[in-house]
Amino acid sequence: MLIFDNRQVIAIAAGIATAAAFGACVMAIQTQVAAGVKHIDWGDIVPPFLLMWIGLHHLAKVLG
């Protein structure tokens, strides 16, 4: 477990985690669309989506 005392480091880490999770959401959707699915499998998209919102929550806590 990492412990950060510096608010700037926390903001940078939360921002990177949020961007990576958003990228994972987009990649999951693009992969399914490229495969020609008729219905999106939300099980592949929900975990990175939740991680994205957790990252945004921590970013808002640090900045606000």
pLDDT at 34: 92
36: left (phi over 0), alpha (psi -120 to 50) or beta: left
pLDDT at 2: 65
Q: Give the residue ranges of the chain where pLDDT is below 50.
A: none
* Predicted TM-score of the model (pTM): 0.70
Dist CA 14 CA 40 (whole Å): 28
* Residue ranges covered by each domain of the chain: 15-63
